[in-house]
Amino acid sequence: MSSIYLQCIEETCGQRQDAKRDEYACAACGGLIEVKYDFDPFDPEELRRTWHQRRLSGEPIDRSGVWRFRELLPFIDSSTRIVSLSEGSTPLVGTRHTGWWAGPVHLTIKHQGNNPTGSFKDLGMTACITRALARGVRMVACASTGNTSSSMAAYAGRAGIRALLFVPYRQISAAKLAQALDFGAIVVEVGSTFDEAFELLRQIAPELGLYLVNSVNPFRIEGQKTIVAEMLEQRAWRPPDYIVVPGGNLGNASAIGKGLRELKTLGFIEKVPRIVVVQAAGANPFYRMLTAGSRDLIAVESPSTEATAIRIGHPANWKKARRVLEWTDGFCESVSDEEIFEAKSVLAEDGVGCEPASASTVAGVRKLVRAGKIERHADVVAVLTGHQLKDTEYVMRHRSESQESRQRLRAEPSLDALRRQLETVLAVPAP
Ligand code: F0G
């Protein structure tokens, strides 16, 4: 049986803690905590076959794209009640037009919007809420830009645990807020940024006895890392050259890096893909730090971007993410809101919808190929983190209200009026 412990990631500290306690910060130095295992030796070939066979099983634990890889998550045992909604098992979609536009590169899309609540957060949440239930937690809490909260509300509901969430006032999309309300969460609108809401939650959590499910909770990272196993399986275990993710609180980049490192150590892969993090230009503290060559985060006090999911000025996981870029020889890019919109429109021409934050990946790839940092024809996987319907206000603003798009017309109910409206948009150019 593999054994588990929690450890502070700070090189100068590295203190181990008992895995029976949940910690969000090292008791000795306040650093980030990660879950570590002394894995039993695996035969990678045999385990790959087992994982593959589970896809034919009807058992809920095998239907989940997280728990199908449970040998990578040995913090549960056969008696643990798994809180799952059949998350994961998301498609890896080839692109036609988008890869040419962005590169040309061989671009595939790992679409995490096809999760039960419409975002990649469900992978981490099934792990974290399973852990919370096993620990007898009665109330979970998070601060969120909208997706973590929808996901927490759904999984907490399923587990019979109460859910409390802090969101910045009027800063998250209506669809995400509606999801959390629909799942019965208590919503507190507080502060004007995610960072402010999160800081207040962290301060008040101990006195209220709240169990935090933000990505500082290392069990969130555990669930999210399984995306790598699923993606590699879908690619017959051939790692791509690059995996590109949007960067907000930097939990996802940390999780993907951890997953890759474990799979390499366990002998599943030789080559490690380079991780690329893309931030929005108005909320790019990680990018600023790396380009300035600073060892400390250059926080953004008033983050601003239309990609509200990643409107974060002080990402909690920046040290984990920096380590991942060091391990994988990765890098970070920053893209404007205009570039994000352009990339989102190109994806849409390929029939791929996503929320704005997700499209930053494709915008980043285009920029990096142009700068010569990603080679033309490279094998690139972009992780699209959220569903198209997560932010319909954004689409309506750009596609419906904008005059130049001329996509949304209104006509009086007569054939003449219809002809007049349509002749302007359906005019066929002369041969
Ligand atoms: N994409 C989407 C759609 C997100 O919702 C988030 C983060 C990210 C990317 C960035 O991921 O934080 O791991 O770097 N959303 C969090 C939330 C902050 O509260 O829903 P990250």
Sheet (strand 33-38) strand order: 16-17, 3-8, 33-38
Same domain for 412 and 386?
no
Residue 147 belongs to some domain of the structure: no
Pocket lining: 221 vs ligand 1, CB cutoff 6 Å: no
Which pLDDT score, from 0 to 100, does residue 405 have?
67
Q: What stretches of 348-397 adopt beta strand conformation (E)?
A: 379-384
Shortest-distance atom of ligand 1 to CA 386: 3
- Per-residue confidence band for 389, with pLDDT thresholds at 50, 70 and 90: very high
Calculate mean pLDDT across residues 403-408: 74
Residues 197-245 have pLDDT tens digits of: 999 999 999 999 999 999 999 999 999 999 999 999 999 999 999 999 9
Shortest-distance atom of ligand 1 to CA 247: 14
Q: How much distance in Å is there from the Cα of 200 to the middle of ligand 1?
A: 19
Same domain for 343 and 418?
no
Pocket lining: 310 vs ligand 1, CB cutoff 6 Å: yes
Q: How far apart, in whole angstroms, are the C-alpha atoms of residue 386 and residue 113?
A: 4
Domain of 228: which CATH number? Answer: 3.40.50.1100
118: phi then psi, degrees, rounded to nearest 5: 90, 15
Same domain for 376 and 241?
yes
Does 2 have pLDDT greater than 90?
Answer: no
- State the pairing for strand pair 186-189/162-167: parallel
Pocket lining: 122 vs ligand 1, CB cutoff 6 Å: no
Single-letter amino acid code for the residue at 300:
V
Does 403 have pLDDT greater than 70?
Answer: no
Which pLDDT score, from 0 to 100, does residue 430 have?
54
Calculate mean pLDDT across residues 276-305: 98
Helix (H, G, I), strand (E, B) or coil at 88: coil
Residues 192-206 have pLDDT tens digits of: 999 999 999 999 999
Chain mean pLDDT for the chain: 95
Residue 431 belongs to some domain of the structure: no
Single-letter amino acid code for the residue at 239:
P
Please, are residues 382 and 412 in contact by the beta-carbon 8 Å criterion?
A: no
Same domain for 272 and 350?
yes
Residue 54 belongs to some domain of the structure: no
Q: How much distance in Å is there from the Cα of 391 to the middle of ligand 1?
A: 13
Same domain for 346 and 276?
yes
Calculate mean pLDDT across residues 245-269: 97
Shortest-distance atom of ligand 1 to CA 148: 20
Shortest-distance atom of ligand 1 to CA 251: 13
Q: How far apart, in whole angstroms, are the C-alpha atoms of residue 215 and residue 224?
A: 10
Lowest mean pLDDT among 126-130, 271-275, 342-346, 415-419: 415-419
* Cα separation values, 345 from 113, 316, 398, Å: 17, 31, 10
Q: How much distance in Å is there from the Cα of 281 to the middle of ligand 1?
A: 16
First to last CA, the chain: 73
Helix (H) or strand (E) holding 392: helix 392-395
Shortest-distance atom of ligand 1 to CA 142: 19
Pocket lining: 248 vs ligand 1, CB cutoff 6 Å: yes
Residues 96-120 have pLDDT tens digits of: 899 999 999 999 999 999 999 999 9
Calculate mean pLDDT across residues 296-301: 97
Does 431 have pLDDT greater than 60?
Answer: no
- Per-residue confidence band for 309, with pLDDT thresholds at 50, 70 and 90: very high
Residue 298 belongs to some domain of the structure: yes
Q: How much distance in Å is there from the Cα of 70 to the middle of ligand 1?
A: 24
Same domain for 251 and 379?
yes
Give the residue, out of 187, 201, 310, 317, with the most ligand 1 atoms within 8 A of its beta carbon, to mutate for a pocket test.
310
Please, are residues 129 and 156 in contact by the beta-carbon 8 Å criterion?
A: yes
Same domain for 341 and 406?
no
Which pLDDT score, from 0 to 100, does residue 24 have?
87
Same domain for 259 and 387?
yes
Does 29 have pLDDT greater than 90?
Answer: yes
Burial of 121 per CB tally in 10 Å (0-12, 13-18, 19+): buried
Q: How much distance in Å is there from the Cα of 421 to the middle of ligand 1?
A: 41
- Per-residue confidence band for 33, with pLDDT thresholds at 50, 70 and 90: very high
- Per-residue confidence band for 169, with pLDDT thresholds at 50, 70 and 90: very high
417: its two tokens: 């009026």
Which of 398, 422, 397 is closest to 410 using CA atoms?
422
Same domain for 354 and 255?
yes
Residues 72-82 have pLDDT tens digits of: 999 998 999 99
Same domain for 4 and 34?
yes
Residue 237 belongs to some domain of the structure: yes
Does 401 have pLDDT greater than 90?
Answer: no
Which pLDDT score, from 0 to 100, does residue 424 have?
78
Q: What share of the chain in percent tops pLDDT 90?
A: 90
Residue 133 belongs to some domain of the structure: no
Give the residue, out of 110, 115, 165, 249, with the most ligand 1 atoms within 8 A of its beta carbon, to mutate for a pocket test.
249
Which of 280, 360, 300, 286 is closest to 330 using CA atoms?
286
Residues 39-95 have pLDDT tens digits of: 988 899 999 999 999 999 999 999 999 999 999 999 998 999 999 999 999 999 999
**What is the C-alpha R_g of the chain?**
22
> What domain range includes position 7?
1-41
Pocket lining: 357 vs ligand 1, CB cutoff 6 Å: yes
Same domain for 375 and 305?
yes
Burial of 352 per CB tally in 10 Å (0-12, 13-18, 19+): buried
Q: How much distance in Å is there from the Cα of 430 to the middle of ligand 1?
A: 48
Please, are residues 125 and 152 in contact by the beta-carbon 8 Å criterion?
A: yes
**Is this model's pTM higher than 0.85 or not?**
yes
Residue 386 belongs to some domain of the structure: yes
Q: What is the DSSP letter of 39?
A: P
Same domain for 378 and 418?
no
Which of 314, 304, 302 is closest to 248 using CA atoms?
314
Residue nearest to atom 11 of ligand 1 (CA): 248
Domains held by the chain: number:
3
Residue 56 belongs to some domain of the structure: no
